Amino acid sequence: MNKYKSYIVFILIDTVIILSSVAASHFLLHGTVSNQFAIETLLVFLLFWLTTISFFHTFRLYHRIWRYASTGEIISITKATSLSMFFVYFLQFLWNQTGIDVPIHHSMFPLTWMMIILGVFGSRFLGRIIQENQRKIRMNRKRTLIIGAGNAGVLVARELKNSIDTPLYPVAFVDDDLNKLNMRVWGIPVVGTKKDIISIVRQYQIEIIVVAIPSAPSSEIAEVINICKKTKAAIKILPRIGDIINGKICINMIRDVKVEDLLGRPPIEIDLQEIAGYVTGKIVLITGAGGSIGSEICRQISRFSPHQLLLLGHGENSIYSIEHDLKRQFPQISFKSIIADIQDKKRIDNVFNLWRPHVVFHAAAHKHVPLMENNPAEAVKNNIFGTKNVAECSHRFGVERFVLISTDKAVNPTSVMGTTKRVAEMIIQDLNQKSNTKFTAVRFGNVLGSRGSVIPLFKQQIKAGGPVTVTHPEMTRYFMTIPEAVQLVIQAGALAAGGEIFILDMGQPVRISDLARDLITLSGLEPEKDIKIEYTGIRPGEKLYEEILTSEEGSIASKHQLIYVAKPAKSREVDLPSSLNKLERVILQEESCEIANDIKSLLKQLVPAYQPQSGGCSKSE
């Protein structure tokens, strides 16, 4: 089919060249078209066209691949044109002898001959240049499969085809709508459904897959990406439909697939009206404001026009960074940066006395499990007594709401870090019994992209060529994105009546080994072949899987479909003030292995579910 199409195109081009050459020659010789010539125009044009096209066909000029043209093709064009001129001249001579007057001036022949040769050769040479440029462009661009032939996919295809700067070149569509199968969109065929992706990638030598179904549910997108992962093609994705403004898609919107795209769980959405009611026009204090969670809380709270945002943190660089970022994004809001250590009771008291916050989000904490296992006194000072300082100040200075950022590691803990966070939960629940402040905690799993997450570590290891280190092949964790975690925190503050522990429905837990494989694959590499995975063994304080509820807790639904409330019964066996006093005396002593073991013993008394994994310490730790 392409052969006949090319044949017809060349004949049409040559027809225009031949007729234009004849007309131009006559005009150059006579300056106008005579009445006599006008009457015989059809015969003259037909004679030149039919003769020249016939000789071109005889010399097989329409059966050549002009991309590989050489001097032989130039000679053939010259011969064919010369013979056609002689043949027309001969026919004119015969017709003149028989009394038929064909008005062709002798000087027309060399002019027409020259114009036809230049025109035909120029058209072929120009076509060759265009073909070569197209071939180079395609060679330098990666063959791309677009998943989804809907509105978004069509816009992507159009942008990719119209832009020569993008490294992507679309060659095929995949769509589950059978009515679109074997149809063409922007000249690109719809060649199959998602179940055919693997074979299509092989058949069409696909290098890049673009998932262009932004309105599809998260579960469907995750399913498609999981199929694409079985190929060797790199995977990119279009952002969700809410991020696409006025249906306009630009090439820069197409991004690499992230691990969160594979979670298969719809993102949590918050009730903006409820949130606006308790932070709008209020003074809001965020501790740990320079951290991954704290800084995101600052950004999201700023959207609801607080009267003032107090950014409290111990690290000056991180506080400076978030303050600079917020001032740029929200110039209308008043920000106050406060460098303070939550362990410093007097300093925290002064902060509350000076600024009188209405709402407190307590995100400051030591979170690294193995580090806190080797430094239990620091975990206790920061996570327990730092929380106690901030919570007690919130009570004394009449804070309306206090939200503690907790963790699923606080449930049946096996680590010092998890146990200290569980004690922090107990402290605010105890204070809630005697305070007008609404104290609440938010418990969630690992946060993708945070500083303590495994994702940055895996990415560094992949960039270095491996190996990627995983502690155990069966280790699982709950995962959520930073925005999801923060939205839960803010929503919990709106739902809080006091004393609750809010839990997000995080879907199914994810195996860390699968996460490592996904990151390797999404980097365009093959697990175990390009990047090795090594299992290093469970570290101190870690367990194979995390839980979200203790054995004493039950969960009830909240106003939000993805948030549940855990209400643990107050333990009658634990005298919280007395136990905290003992713990405080112990951590003030000089650090030693004996003191570390004493700390763990006291933590065990506070949280009977705590199961320490190591019986002691050594200087080698």
Buried b (16+ CB within 10 A) or exposed e, 512-521: bbebbbbbbb
336 tagged catalytic: no
129 pLDDT tier (thresholds 50, 70, 90): low
Give whole-number Cα distances, 237 to 189, 241, 254, in Å: 20, 12, 6
- In this structure, the answer to whether residues 351 and 377 fall within a common structural domain is yes
User: In this structure, what CATH number is given to the domain that contains residue 295?
Assistant: 3.40.50.720
- Which domain does 107 fall in, by range? 2-137
pTM recorded for the entire structure: 0.64
- In this structure, the answer to whether residues 35 and 127 fall within a common structural domain is yes
- In this structure, the answer to whether residues 393 and 501 fall within a common structural domain is yes
- In this structure, the answer to whether residues 300 and 409 fall within a common structural domain is yes
In a domain, 589, yes or no: yes
In a domain, 124, yes or no: yes
Select from 257, 283, 317 the last residue of a domain: 257
The mean pLDDT of 173-181, rounded to a whole number, is 89
Select from 222, 257, 292 the last residue of a domain: 257
Of the residues 194, 236, 381, 409, which is catalytic? 409
Which of 343, 366, 377 is CA-nearest to residue 596?
377
Q: How far apart are CA 416 and CA 599, in angstroms?
A: 9
- In this structure, the answer to whether residues 246 and 330 fall within a common structural domain is no
179 pLDDT tier (thresholds 50, 70, 90): confident
Q: How far apart are CA 88 and CA 82, in angstroms?
A: 10
Task: Give the tokens for residue 461.
Answer: 């290891």
β-strand partners of 172 = 145
Q: Tens of pLDDT along 84-101?
A: 888 877 777 776 666 655
In a domain, 24, yes or no: yes
Q: Tens of pLDDT along 222-275?
A: 888 888 888 888 888 876 554 444 444 455 556 666 666 666 566 666 665 667
552 pLDDT tier (thresholds 50, 70, 90): very low
- In this structure, the answer to whether residues 11 and 112 fall within a common structural domain is yes
Answer yes or no: is pLDDT of 424 > 60: yes
- In this structure, the answer to whether residues 133 and 151 fall within a common structural domain is no
Answer yes or no: is pLDDT of 163 > 80: no
- In this structure, the answer to whether residues 168 and 100 fall within a common structural domain is no
Select from 88, 106, 137 the last residue of a domain: 137
In a domain, 611, yes or no: no
Number of folded domains in the chain?
3
- In this structure, the answer to whether residues 210 and 289 fall within a common structural domain is no
Q: How far apart are CA 77 and CA 56, in angstroms?
A: 7
Which of 162, 150, 160, 225 is CA-nearest to residue 190?
150
β-strand partners of 360 = 285, 402
| pLDDT on residue 306 | 94
The mean pLDDT of 194-213, rounded to a whole number, is 89
- In this structure, the answer to whether residues 559 and 598 fall within a common structural domain is yes
- In this structure, the answer to whether residues 117 and 153 fall within a common structural domain is no
